[in-house]
Amino acid sequence: MPARASQFDPFRKFKFRIKIANQVVAGLTKCSALTVSVESKEFRSGEMDSFKQKLPGMVSFEPITLEQGVTSDKTFEKWATAMANYLGNKGADSQKTPDDFRKEVDIEVYNLNNERVKAYRVYQCWVSKYTAIPDLDANSADVMIQTLVLENEGIQVMQ
């Protein structure tokens, strides 16, 4: 009997780990795509004005969305509310600067043998949006999911 192609696929979507400040975040269920965009600038040169030429412009890094089932683990909640507390000048976080809330995030992809096959470091992440709990519905059997949206300033492939 021939082997199925899926048995040899090392890049399945459900085998990944997220590390924040070098610690694995337990129970993470979803991570959005890592996307880098380079703006395209059009111009016409004086000699060839019958068509536009393009040059690369500003580089931007799309926000990353992390989802986790609501648990007693306070990692997401502490990070998400720290920036809000700072901006609102509430509590001990009022003595910090916005840079104190930025973290490096590592995203690691594993194959079926639990061997790391890809890894990325995302730099200068900070929480721009936090959903503590989703809409509540007593008629639903869905799991409650917390969501963090992370702004970032760069992505690097790790060895």
Per-residue pLDDT reduced to its tens digit, 52-66: 889 999 999 999 999
Over 80: is that where the pLDDT of 149 sits? yes
Bridge-partner residues for 129, per DSSP? Answer: 149
43 lies in some domain: no
- DSSP reduced 3-state for 102: coil
Predicted local distance difference test score (pLDDT) of residue 92: 57
- DSSP reduced 3-state for 7: helix
78 lies in some domain: yes
- We report the CATH number of the domain holding residue 98 as 2.30.110
C-alpha to C-alpha distance for 103 and 79, rounded to whole angstroms: 9
- Percent of the chain having pLDDT more than 90? 33
Bridge-partner residues for 125, per DSSP? Answer: 103
Four-point Cα dihedral 76, 147, 36, 113, nearest 10: 70
pTM beyond 0.85: no
Domain extent, residue 70, equals 8-31+63-157
Count of structural domains, the chain: 1
79 lies in some domain: yes
Predicted local distance difference test score (pLDDT) of residue 84: 77
Over 80: is that where the pLDDT of 109 sits? yes
For the chain, give percent helix, strand, coil, nearest 5. Answer: 15, 45, 40
Contact between 84 and 98 under an 8 Å Cβ cutoff? The reply is no
Predicted local distance difference test score (pLDDT) of residue 128: 92
Predicted local distance difference test score (pLDDT) of residue 93: 55
88 lies in some domain: yes
57 lies in some domain: no
Predicted local distance difference test score (pLDDT) of residue 8: 58
pLDDT in tens, 34-44: 999 999 998 88
1 lies in some domain: no
Contact between 103 and 83 under an 8 Å Cβ cutoff? The reply is no
Q: For residue 4, what pLDDT band results from cuts at 50, 70 and 90? A: low
117 lies in some domain: yes
127 lies in some domain: yes
